[in-house]
Structure 1
Amino acid sequence: MDNIDTIDRRILSALQQDADQSLEDLGAKVGLSRNACWRRVRILQESGVIRKRVALLDPQKLGLGLSVFIQVRTSNHDPDWLDKFARAVKLMPEILGAYRMTGDLDYLIHARVSDVKDYDALYQRLIAKVDLSDVSASFVMEELKETTELSL
């Protein structure tokens, strides 16, 4: 969607901060009536700019206090292996993100688990599903910044 204007950006920014706010409150923040605001939000949803609205949960309070980045290297790059790997990571709920990378690293996986023992169980399940050449993990000691908000 190429025609996002200043008001759309203000709507998107406000929704990134609180997607649960009423249309009245959202409209007041961006200077639109409830109905005009609703029309713009609907267009942003239909165009795919707004993919979905979610609740952000506190992983600590849910017993998922360990954030881990898993670095994966593979010697196999054929389409069947890639499909198998993609299916495996998509089916593991602990995995929050999986990315194909440039450079020395083939894939980077971000996961949330309760502790190192829980990570080891995830690791064992992953290597049982997909043949990997090298896997290493880095455990997050401190989160300095983590956000879902895009810069608009």
Structure 2
Amino acid sequence: MNDVTLDRIDRKILDQLMRDTTLPVAQLAERVGLSQTPCWKRIQKLEAAGVITRRVALVDPVKIGLGLTVFVEVEALDHTPEWRAAFRALIPRFPAIVEVHRLAGTVDYLLKVVVPDMRAFDEFYLQLTRALPCRNITSKFSTEAILVSTVWPIDVETV
């Protein structure tokens, strides 16, 4: 939410939780300079305000058999509300799509797709192109993930 004001302590709490959400409240409180109860109340406030949206386990995709990451650029067939609605409705049908970004520029959408191998990607690609007409689809295959992070660069020193 844009109307949430975060002070330095809120930012420290968020920074620590983005790094390790399994921290016990006592340890988290110590790291941010609070006692347990006020720390827990701030976490609850951040969740209620929608700042903290989920707490999840991060899993190595290769270790669960998802060894191929592909970035798929999609150019819309047209820019009508109907096409956009059809595209948005299509996304949940494809669990291999783990991120979708609408872009400005020559490419309209960028999909991050994670699949076991090239054969699985080919099947994904064929299903996608059958399900939704597009002007162009371009695939870029990741050969090495140099940095993958879920920690946002939050300023914990000011405010």
Q: TM-score, normalised by structure 1?
A: 0.96
User: AA paired with 2:133?
Assistant: D
Once the two structures are superposed, residues 114-137 of structure 1 have per-residue CA deviations (whole angstroms, 9 ceiling, x without a partner) of 111111111111112111121110
Summarize the alignment of residues 47-126 of structure 1 with structure 2, pairs less than 5 Å apart: 47-126=49-128
SS at match of 2:140: strand
Give the superposition deviation at 1:75.
2.7
User: AA paired with 2:51?
Assistant: V
Counterpart of 2:43?
41
Distance 1:46 1:87 in 2: 28
Structure 1: unaligned runs, 5 residues or longer: none
User: AA paired with 2:89?
Assistant: R
SS at match of 1:61: helix
Once the two structures are superposed, residues 21-42 of structure 1 have per-residue CA deviations (whole angstroms, 9 ceiling, x without a partner) of 1111111111111101001001
Structure 2: unaligned runs, 5 residues or longer: 155-159
User: AA paired with 2:7?
Assistant: D
Q: How many residues align?
A: 152
Distance 1:112 1:90 in 2: 14
Contact 2:100 2:109 in 1 (8 A): yes
Contact 2:77 2:133 in 1 (8 A): no
Distance 2:141 2:130 in 1: 22
Distance 1:99 1:8 in 2: 28
- 4+ aligned runs moved over 2 Å, structure 1: none
Q: In the alignment, which of 134, 138, 141 is matched to residue 140 of structure 2?
A: 138
Counterpart of 2:157?
none
Give the superposition deviation at 1:3.
2.0
Distance 2:71 2:110 in 1: 7
Q: TM-score, normalised by structure 2?
A: 0.92
Identity of aligned residues (%): 35
SS at match of 1:105: coil
Counterpart of 2:151?
149
